[in-house]
Amino acid sequence: MNTVTRAAAETVQLGWMLGLMTVVFLVFFVGWTVWAYSPKRREEMEEASRMPFMDGGIE
């Protein structure tokens, strides 16, 4: 077996790990997005959106 074939075989054997990590990160991203835009956090997000317009009291 030449070195190119051996390297390709090792890459294929670790492919499942890359696929698993992709799924884990996708689930994390979707969960974080759902949490951020959940109706429970609406008031907090609206307050945060007004922060740039609030006077900080600095004179």
In this predicted structure, what is the pLDDT of residue 54? 85
Distance CA 40, CA 28 (A): 19
In this predicted structure, what is the pLDDT of residue 4? 84
3-state secondary structure 9-53: HHHHHHHHHHHHHHHHHHHHHHHHHHHHCCHHHHHHHHHHHCHHH
In this predicted structure, what is the pLDDT of residue 29? 98
Distance CA 52, CA 26 (A): 31
CA dihedral 53, 54, 58, 59 (to 10 degrees): 70
Q: Tens place of pLDDT for every residue, the chain, 59 residues?
A: 688 888 877 777 777 888 899 999 999 999 999 999 999 999 998 998 888 888 775 65
